[in-house]
Amino acid sequence: MIECRLAKLEDIEQILKLHARYQVDTINEDDKKDGFITTAFTKEQLTALIEDEQGLFVAIKDGEIVAYVMAASWKFWSAWPMFVHMIKDLSNVKFKGITLTVDNSYQYGPVCVDKSVRSSGVLEKIFDFAREEMSKKYPILVTFINKINPRSYEAHTRKLGLEVVKEFEFNNNQYYELCYDTSKPL
């Protein structure tokens, strides 16, 4: 049985361990083909995500955190250059006829699902839990996926129904930018 909930401060060590297994700088090379996370996080950043944003969601199985989703305001993400780039471009992006702003949208991701529970419905369950929580503040979810991460692209477009709204380049990498209507349950 999988339980989804908001992360607590005492979850941070487990989240960082899970994160390190799939983060691009520390992932096992054989696992990279199955997806990876590009952004690194500190304990302080996760603390702010939990305390200030209520934007860190976890899936727990048998007492272990097996997945997480991060979701937060653009203000939170503005510490990273990639997100500064995306914030500057929001006014050029429309989703369902609405021009994106820092007030009507938020940045979803990264998301991490341990390989032991992949293809078991955990992604859909934690995504929908996070979407429902974030829908109380924002009507539009925004995220990006590196084009060299096809597993993440497939999961988010095919399983979750996110829509590509544009493609962009940052730091010599090619990305898809995707959106989702947070009022729409999976």
**Token pair listed for 47:** 């603390």
**pLDDT tens column, 99-117:** 999 999 999 999 999 999 9
Portion of the chain with pLDDT greater than 90, in percent: 82
Residue 166: the pLDDT is 97
**Token pair listed for 153:** 């692209």
Full set of structural domains in the chain with CATH: 2-181 (3.40.630.30)
pLDDT higher at 102 or 1: 102
3-state secondary structure of 110: strand
**Token pair listed for 119:** 């293809």
Q: Residue 23 carries which DSSP code?
A: B
Range 115-132 average pLDDT: 95
Range 120-125 average pLDDT: 95
Dist. CA 48–CA 178, nearest whole Å: 25
pLDDT higher at 23 or 2: 2
Dist. CA 83–CA 85, nearest whole Å: 5
- Give the relative orientation of helices 43-51 and 12-22 as an angle to the nearest 10 degrees: 120
Residues 6+ apart with CB under 8 A from 115: 31, 34
Please classify residue 185 by burial: count the beta carbons closer than 10 Å to its beta carbon, then call 0-12 exposed, 13-18 middle and 19+ buried. exposed
**pLDDT tens column, 14-45:** 999 998 888 777 777 777 777 777 778 999 99
Residue 47: the pLDDT is 97
